Structure 1
């Protein structure tokens, strides 16, 4: 898992949203959601999978290959709530 590459992809794709979101990309699926509970949305990557979370709540665990798409879906949902 290349966490830097995931973070770069997330940063690039967030440009499509016009919302003041705080987004976390963490490298530990155990501690990540708690450490980033101030974020609107985030992902915590582990071996072959990632936990998607919003506002400190764990939502679901997905294969790492789907993590950015799942995070972006959640980011779009939260962005709509903020408008």
Structure 2
């Protein structure tokens, strides 16, 4: 979904979830999906494309870093529920 970066004073794109079934992993599908979303963000003039990853999901972290994504060490998720 679209969000807004106060740091960049521009809209951005946020990916809530990405799940590729195990049978389809390592087929290029996840890479193609992320590239398509990154291209969409660029076409729309968005300042950035963000998503989160759990710190224990090392396979996903390596995958994202291999695509050129920076895993930011200084941000934490805050949540109120209910």
TM bucket, shorter chain: under 0.3
| More helix, by proportion | 1
Bigger Rg, structure 1 or 2? 2
Structure in which a larger fraction of residues adopt strand: 1
TM-score with structure 1 setting the length: 0.24
Normalising by the residue count of structure 2, what TM-score does the alignment of the two structures yield?
A: 0.24
